[in-house]
Structure formats: structure tokens, C-alpha cells
Structure 1
Amino acid sequence: MKAKDIMVTDVICVDMDERLPQVRHIMETNGFHHLPVTDKGKLVGIISDRDLLRLISPFIDSASEQPRDIDTLNRAAHQVMTRQPITVKAETPVDDIVAWLKRVDISCLPVTDNEDNIVGIISWRDLVNHATFKD
């Protein structure tokens, strides 16, 4: 089995200049945990829900909200993304994908073509959904 057999191909991405309120909205609306970031169609980074939890003030939309809390939302995707994410190709064997996820303690891998265009994404959930277990 290869990446192309299990990857999600309908990948929603954001531009590197997209602001965090829109990034957060896309992730919450779609139930995403990872959002690829592109520049002119090329993958340049990835934002995880953990990145947002770490950066956005927990006081947003609460009675305790302060102006400095709102300032956390003024950042652009490129300011908070993980740059140069580890990627795989569509022909990468699933065993290699599992090894990468375990080795570097990440929970998704973007799938790119030879020009760094994103063609899919694979998360640990995709691996579990396609797992076959031996008796």
C-alpha cells in the first residue's frame, strides 16, 4: 500500500498571508487538526491545532478579553506555521509513512508532487482507518 491509496486528496489550504481568525475558522468548521500553508500554490508550511492553542490567547471571546489578547489574532499564517514540513510522495510506501510519524513525533504528512504542489495529506487517523490487522 502506498500514500496515494490512503491520502485525502481534497485538501484545503491557506495562503501564507491568511490571518489567524480565518485559519482558526477553517480548522474548526471542518474539524481539521492540520492545515497546509501555500505560497503561489506551493507548500511552504503547516499549521496544527496545537500551534493555534499555543499562540491564541485563551481569553478571546470571554469577559476577561484584553486588547493584547486580540493582538494574538493579528498574526499571519507564515508567522506561526512550521516551515519546511516533512512531506512524502504519492508513491511512498505506508511503512515509510508510519516510520516518519513515529520517528519525528508528528501526526500528519502532506503529500506533494515533484514541484511541491500539495496533492494530498495523510494523518495518523487515515492510517488507522486503512489498517489491516493480522491474526
Structure 2
Amino acid sequence: MPIEISTASPSSLASAIRSPSSLENTDPTDPTDPQPQYIIFLASLLNRTSWCPDCRVVEPLIDRYFQGNGEAVRNARVIYVGDRATWKDPTNKWRQEPFYISGVPTILKVVGEKWERLYDDDVVNEAKLKAFLGVN
């Protein structure tokens, strides 16, 4: 199952991930036990290739842990933050409230009201990525 590529605005995306109806349950018998949602912020593609070297390195890991057949993580969507010039602009919409993304790649994990992030070099470190995702 491919990861959803989101074109939502920052405010629409923030509202969607905060909505209880957007959460799936890890335990179907316990509606208060939400499964984490992940938002993966990557550099935009040019001719099907990312302009960001770290994003190119992390793409196979994203495929493995978010789309793979093994212990794949669900509830994920990708946000492309723009081409290099758009991303470097301090007014880039993803650098602003509520996300405040400062570098790509960044993975945001949302569980209820709690937001955690893994970014830059930590995303390309497979051991750190697996720990963040809670996979073996």
C-alpha cells in the first residue's frame, strides 16, 4: 500500500491529525488506544529525484518501514516541502506554525496531543529510525 502524498495546507493537516476520527486503533476493543500517525517531510522531487541528499538516502528506509511487507508502519503521509529555493525561504509554510520544520527529512509522530519528531541525520540512522517507529 503506497504512502499517501498530502497536498493539504499546514492548518488543514494539523486539524486532520488532531481529529479523533482520523486515528485508527491499535486495539479495536479499546477506542482510547490510538495508533500513532506519521507525517514524513521530504524535499520535493525534480525528475523523480529529490534535490536533498539525505532525503535520497532515507527513501529506501521509508519504503521499507512504511510500505514494506514486514513490520510496516501505517497511518503515514508524505509532505513535499518544495524545491530547494522554496524550502530555503524562511517563510516556507512548513517552517511556520504549527509544524516548525527546520530540516528535511523530518518524521513527525503524532499520538493524541503528543508530537515527537526525528529529523535530519537521525532519520537516516536506521537504528534510530526503527526505535522511533517501534519496529524490530
Q: Would the TM-score normalized by the shorter structure come out above 0.5?
A: no
Q: Which protein has the larger Cα radius of gyration, Structure 1 or Structure 2?
A: 1
**What TM-score, normalized by structure 1, do the two folds share?**
0.29
